[in-house]
Structure 1
Amino acid sequence: MNFEQNGDDLSLTARFTKQAQDFDDLQNEMAGREVGRISRFLKGDEHGPMAAEKRRAKWNATLTNLQIMMNDLEYAQLYRDTETKLRETQSTLDAALEQVQQLKTGAEAALSETLEHAARLPDGRRVFKDQVDQVLFENGDLVEDDLAAMIVWNGSEPSFEEMRAQADAVNGLIELEADIYTGQAEIGDMQERMADESDPITKDGMTSFNDRAEEINSGIEVRMNAFLNESLSPNAVQSEPIADISVPRL
């Protein structure tokens, strides 16, 4: 029999047993549980129920207010849903902006070509005939008869209605572009508010953000569709076709 080997096994077992006991004792001391033995690890006010409470308070102090609020499952779910809503709304606005800018570029080019082919007075001012053969300036003012008599028409000039429709399209797209920028900024402010960890947003605040994001998205979509419907209507006068686009939905 190898007594030396048996002694080593017993020593190893004893060491493992002692380490396990030390671990248990430390956990009990940290939790403030009495086990009938003198404290060996924590001294003075480091152990006991009050010490455990202090440690918990110290840990909580390291958490942000937002992290604490996220312990509420209902709050956490609403927070994640709102984050998703705002992110998707921002993406929708980004796509809409790109489409509007493409349309604006095309509309500006069409208007520029129309103005280039307009009839002119001797002083260079552009003039147009409307559907009832009135001669008008760009702003719609009537050209005096003596000036109108000086114009040489070749029959290929764009009409006043055509020019006006194209100018209105450009102005409408410029306004829509500006409103999309405004919507993007507003959504960005909401996202910044959501990220405030020291002053967490309330549930009511998040509900309001969700509603406002939907309102912004729907408003842009309605205006985009109205513009497209007007531009593509049989009564609309245009020199180039409008691209077939649709605003992405959330």
Structure 2
Amino acid sequence: MAERRRQQDRDDYNNEMADRDVGRIRRFLPESARGEDTRKRREKEQRQLSALAMLLQNDPEYAALYEDTFDKLRAAEAATETALARARDGLAAANGMLDETLDRASQLPDGTRAFRDADGNVFSEDGQPITGEALDQVRWRDGAPSYEDYLARKKAVTGAQAAYDEILRYQVDVLGHARGRLTDEDNPPTKEELGELQQDIDTQMPDTVRQELTPTSHSEPSAEGTAKIKPLSLGP
């Protein structure tokens, strides 16, 4: 037992002289050297921290602004997901109504749909006039939709698609960019950029997304709330 302890002492001494860190408390170096060793160890730990972690740890003002920006991002992301789901449902419904209108339309023998407008003019589904011999071949159906009905259904699909695309662009171009910057450990955004990210999240937000924000998402953080720096998560 004593021999094993002496061997451990020799190993510890040799490791300390060689400045090898083996995870054991240093016992043989003088106090001044041990203090220097502690300082070096802390400096090494600091170097291993990411640039973002250093800012969050050492700059309370930055940490509070960063947290506020991330809170706004998360709220916008949640509202965007809800708005996107609604827009997707709306687009599906609009397409369904257009399909139903086309199914009920009168047709030419080759399957081309034909619609009569309020003035008695007849048009195909791509807007071409149907006249002469072709007009005589139209197979008219009872209760067939008018050209105005058809155009209204097409317009509804176009509007629903535009609304969906607007939300999707916001999700990718604005929120995706913001999350990418906020989670960049090695090149974190400056305070000025954090302010710009917040502004972009707000000013570029589609009305359809804004309507889905929860009441707490609209309120500004209190001074007390921003003064307390809570542990931050880079995840959702």
TM (normalized to structure 1)?
0.66
**Partner of 1:110 in structure 2?**
97
Equivalent residue in structure 2 for 1:68, among 54, 77, 86: 54
Letter in 1 for 2:156: A
Structure ID, larger Rg: 1
**Partner of 2:178 in structure 1?**
190
The CA distance in 2 between the partners of 1:182 and 1:154, in whole Å, is 42
| Contact 1:110–1:166 under 8 Å retained in 2 | yes
Letter in 1 for 2:113: R
Identity of aligned residues (%): 31
Letter in 2 for 1:194: L
Letter in 2 for 1:66: L
Q: State which drifts further: 160-169 or 78-87.
A: 160-169
Equivalent residue in structure 1 for 2:201, among 200, 208, 213: 213
**Partner of 1:100 in structure 2?**
87
Letter in 2 for 1:67: A
Question: After the TM superposition, which residues 1-250 of structure 1 pair with which residues of structure 2 at under 5 Å, given as runs?
Answer: 42-43=29-30, 46-47=33-34, 53-70=39-56, 71-186=58-173, 187-217=175-205, 219-221=206-208, 247-249=211-213, 250=217
Q: SS in structure 2 opposite 1:201?
A: coil
Letter in 2 for 1:198: D
The alpha carbon displacement at 1:64 in A equals 2.0
What residue ranges of structure 2 are gaps of 5+ in the alignment?
A: 1-26, 218-236
| Contact 2:182–2:189 under 8 Å retained in 1 | yes
**Partner of 1:11 in structure 2?**
none
TM (normalized to structure 2)?
0.69
Moved over 6 A (4+): none
The CA distance in 2 between the partners of 1:99 and 1:44, in whole Å, is 68
**Partner of 1:22 in structure 2?**
none
| Contact 1:180–1:220 under 8 Å retained in 2 | no
Aligned pairs, how many?
186
Letter in 1 for 2:191: K
| Contact 1:119–1:128 under 8 Å retained in 2 | yes
CA-atom RMSD in angstroms: 2.5
Q: SS in structure 1 opposite 2:114?
A: strand
The CA distance in 2 between the partners of 1:102 and 1:63, in whole Å, is 45
| Contact 2:105–2:141 under 8 Å retained in 1 | no
Q: SS in structure 2 opposite 1:122?
A: coil
Q: SS in structure 2 opposite 1:179?
A: helix
The alpha carbon displacement at 1:212 in A equals 1.3
Distance 1:165 1:75, change over 3 A: same
The CA distance in 2 between the partners of 1:121 and 1:55, in whole Å, is 85
The CA distance in 1 between the partners of 2:102 and 2:130, in whole Å, is 17
The alpha carbon displacement at 1:153 in A equals 3.4
The CA distance in 1 between the partners of 2:33 and 2:47, in whole Å, is 18
| Contact 1:194–1:201 under 8 Å retained in 2 | yes
Q: State which drifts further: 96-105 or 186-195.
A: 186-195
Q: State which drifts further: 65-74 or 79-88.
A: 65-74
The CA distance in 2 between the partners of 1:77 and 1:45, in whole Å, is 38
CA offsets, 1:143-177, max 9 Å, x none?
Answer: 11332233353451101111111112112222332
